[in-house]
Amino acid sequence: MIEINNLVKRYGDKKAVKGISFTVNDGEVLGFLGPNGAGKTTTMNIITGYLSSTSGTVKVNGHDILEEPELAKKEIGYLPENPPLYNDMTVKEYLNFICDLKGVEKARRKNMLDNIVSMVKISDVYDRLIGNLSKGYKQRVGIAQALVGNPSILILDEPTVGLDPNQIIEIRRLIKALSKNHSIVISSHILSEIQEIADRVVIINRGKIAAVDTISDLSKRLSGQSKILLTFRGPVTDAVTKIRTVKGVSSAVSRVANKFSQIEITISANDTSETRIAIFNLMVREGWPILELRSLDPSLEEIFLNITSGKGGVKS
C-alpha cells in the first residue's frame, strides 16, 4: 500500500504539486493520469524517493520514504519512461548488476533471475547486448530490473511509449499478469490502455487532484446515468414496454436501425452491470435474438478531456 498525504513540491515560487492525497491499495492497478506539466512525473519521482517533497508524506507499506528510505524503496520496483539500461552490457550482466545495487544475496539470485527472465519472456536475448535489442525487448528488460528484489509495488511510467501495436499488446498482457502478485501504479498517455487494465484512476491537473474513482463511476457521474445500446430483432413495442419494467431502467427509447428490421433501443439505467444481466435474461426468455449489447458511457478519453479542459463535469 502507498499512502500519499498532502504532498507539496515547490520550485522557488512555483508549486509543481499542490497538496495532493491518494492511496494505492494492495493488489490494485491504479492509473495515474494527467496532461503534460500537471505534476504527474514529479509526484512519481517523489513516491519512488528520487525527489524529496517540500512538505507532506509518502508511506510505502508503512515506511516513510524520507525517514526510512531503504525500507520503503525495497518495496518499490520502478520503470521510468526511459529505462535505465546500459547498452554495452548483456541482459544477464545488467540484471546481475541490478541485483548488486539492490543487495540481492547471491544464494537466491539465480533462482530469482530465472523466474523474472521467464516471466517477462527475455530468455532468448539473455546473453545479447542490450544495445542490439529492439525497443520492445528493452522495455521488457526495464520491467525485469523493476522486478529484481521482488518488490510488492511496481511503478511504471509510460511502459509502452514508442512501441508498435504488437509490442504494446505484449507489454499490456505482461502488466496484467504482474498485477496478480503486485500493486501497480501505471502512467500512460494511451488512455485506452489504462481503461483496459486499471481498477481505479487518479487524474491530476495543474498540480492538484482532479478526480479519483473507478472509470465506470467517473463515467456515470459525467453522463448522469449509465447508458446501454441494445440491438436486436423482435417486436419493438413489446420490447420497449418490458425493458422499461426492468429494475434500474429509467428510460428506453427505440428506433429501427436498418432495412433488415434490426431494432436499436437506447437504455438509461442506474446500474449498468446488473441491468445488462437483467436485460439479457429478458431477451432470452422472450426469444428475441440480441445482435449487440454495449455501453454508451463516456470513454476514459472523454472523461480525461472533460476534467483537464476545466469544464468541471466530474468532481472527485
Q: In this predicted model, what pLDDT tens digit does every residue of 119-135 receive, in sequence order?
A: 899 999 999 999 999 98
Domain match, 132 and 276 both: no
Among 153, 188, 219, the domain-final residue is 219
127 domain-assigned = yes
The last residue of a domain, from among 169, 185, 219:
219
Residue 23 three-state SS: strand
Q: Helices 135-147 and 165-178: crossing angle, nearest 10°?
A: 10
At residue 308 the predicted structure's pLDDT band, cuts being 50, 70 and 90, is: confident
Quick one: 239 and 181 in the same domain?
A: no
Q: How many residues are given for the chain? A: 316
Report the alpha-carbon distance of residue 142 to residue 78 in Å, rounded: 9
Q: Which domain holds residue 267?
A: 224-295
Region 128-144 average pLDDT? 93
Domain of residue 110, CATH code: 3.40.50.300
pLDDT digits (tens, 9 = 90+) for 68-118: 999 999 999 999 888 889 999 999 999 999 999 999 998 999 999 999 999
Q: What global pTM score does this model have?
A: 0.78
Read off the pLDDT band of 223 (50, 70, 90): low
286 pLDDT above the threshold of 90: yes
Whether residue 310 lies inside any domain: the answer is no
Answer yes or no: do 182 and 271 share one domain.
Answer: no
CATH number of the domain encompassing residue 283 = 3.30.70.1340
Lowest-confidence region among 27-36, 117-126, 175-184, 212-221: 212-221
CA distances for 165 relative to 31, 170, 192, angstroms: 20, 9, 13
Contact in structure between 139 and 160 (CB atoms under 8 Å) = yes
The answer to whether residue 304 sits within a structural domain is no
pLDDT tens-digit map of 198-211: 999 999 999 999 99
- The rounded distance, in Å, linking the Cα atoms of 197 and 172 is 8
Q: In what order do the strands lie in the sheet containing 63-64?
A: 14-24, 2-11, 55-60, 63-64
20 plus 41 within the same structural domain:
yes
Q: Do both 32 and 150 map to the same domain?
A: yes
Q: Check whether residue 101 and residue 140 sit in a common domain.
A: yes
| pLDDT score of 316 | 43
Instruction: Examine the domain organization and report whether 212 and 246 are in the same domain.
Output: no
- 165 burial (CB, 10 Å; 0-12 / 13-18 / 19+) is exposed
The pLDDT, as a whole number, for residue 315 is 44
**Mean pLDDT, to the nearest integer, of 191-200?**
88
Asked whether residue 119 falls in the same domain as residue 72, the answer is yes
Strands 76-79 and 153-157: parallel
Q: Is 301 among the domain residues? A: no
Q: Which three cell numbers stand for residue 161?
A: 511509449
Both 205 and 264 in a single domain?
A: no
Q: Are residues 142 and 68 in the same domain?
A: yes
Would you say 166 and 139 are in contact if contact means Cβ atoms under 8 Å apart? no
Work out the pLDDT band at 310, boundaries 50, 70, 90: low
How much is the mean pLDDT over the chain?
89
Number of domains present in the structure of the chain? 2
Lowest mean pLDDT among 84-88, 112-116, 143-147, 303-307: 303-307
